[in-house]
Structure 1
Amino acid sequence: MTPRYKRVLLKLSGEALMGDQTMGISPDVLQYVAEEIESICRMGVQLAVVVGGGNIFRGVAASSYGMDRTSADHMGMLATVINSIALQDAIEKRGIATRVQSAIEVHAVAEPYILRKALRHLEKGRVVIFAAGTGNPYFTTDTAAVLRAEEIHAELLLKATKVNGLYDSDPVKNSGARFIKQITYMDVIKRQLAVMDATAITLAMDNHLPLVVFSMRDKGNARRIICGEDLGTYIGDEASADQSI
């Protein structure tokens, strides 16, 4: 398979690492994700990863029951550092050089985020995992993923989910939910589709960054999308009309 994109950013939720657990990191899922990442890198694709922290701590949820939002979000950032280190270990055990760069200073376990160093790592074929979101409270890891994708000039952002793409409502709760094959950024915002927060979608729209929402549960999906297969839901400019199936 020949990759269509040279540089890609993969966004993983923290919940994706839980597997069937109620919290924490599933060793089996971690190994599976590492295998998927390895398969992408073996094609010569430059890959960056942003991982959430919701499997360990979610700042928004904590702030809803009285914790100060800034404190809660900083705890959430630390949770993403934990996930990033775990993912780094799993990837490197598969022979792929990996670097964790954190937006908050944790020198003992990760490099500080420095764009030029990140670009150099990517050029050398290393996977770069961006931890701690943007380093600022009130910004989600989805927004961090779009921001980092723009900064490293990624050609595509892959948003991994538990379902095969974007629906007009939650397919888990609504069996009649309609799958959306293609949709514009603006329609995602207008219809308040919960694929990413509005800040992330707006940032992607302003910079014309194409997004593909897909299921990470199906082995090889990420690799096939990078090679040009029409999987998942494409979110892009006005030229890509909303196509609900």
Structure 2
Amino acid sequence: MEQQSIAVLKQLFEADKLDETYINKLKLDERKGVQKLIERYERKKLNDKALKENFLRMSQYEQKNYADGCQYIAGMDEAGRGPLAGPVVAAAVILPRDFKLLGLNDSKQLNETTREEYFTIIKNAAVSYGIAIIDNYKIDQINIYEATKLAMYEAINQLNPLPDHVLIDAVSLDQLTCSSESITKGDQKSVSVAAASVLAKVTRDGLMKDLDKKYPGYGFASNMGYGTKQHTAMLAEHGVTPYHRKSFAPVRSIVR
């Protein structure tokens, strides 16, 4: 075969149009540019293998429940239990059995661009999804744990069809009409829970960015309401906003 230019080979690698036999021949090519292309290809191949293995590992809970006869398995997660301001958001999602999104993981481990990309993919692919928002006033009334569970129940009730089984990240829900299991670090162990974590976090982050426009200076667009140095300094200097959780320290001490 005629020797290809490095520019052409780069295009062929990117289009995945080179078979292993030809790539092995290219390994004998002494051009540095060719060797760099091969090194990049090998790294990508190893990365793709790792992503596939991780996705299979994170599908084990779903596959077990499919094998047990479940048809609709929902993943459930929340965002915003710890911040000093803003709502808590819960999401539930039922993914199709053949769903595949390599790289899906706990939303906190994904960068913002990837989270937003996955957010759209998950919503478009889902059999059904629900997103529930409980504001700071309700959080102050019933406490953050109960508010989180309330959001989860509301998100589940939005699903159509309703699930046969629910996988939940580290929370037990005893009033569901179907079976469920609480999984510690479920957003790192279950594809469905990880998908729900993306829906919840992207939704909540968007709400906090909107609050940042109303109350600039507190850093809501970057800290998402968590008690960073900038945030707590602004609290001490300018006081609380209508979106702060007055039952949370140090907000409670400032209100008093």
Same fold (TM over 0.5): no
Would you tell me which structure has more strand in proportion to its own residues? 1
Larger radius of gyration: 2
TM-score by length of 1: 0.28
Would you tell me which structure has more helix in proportion to its own residues? 2
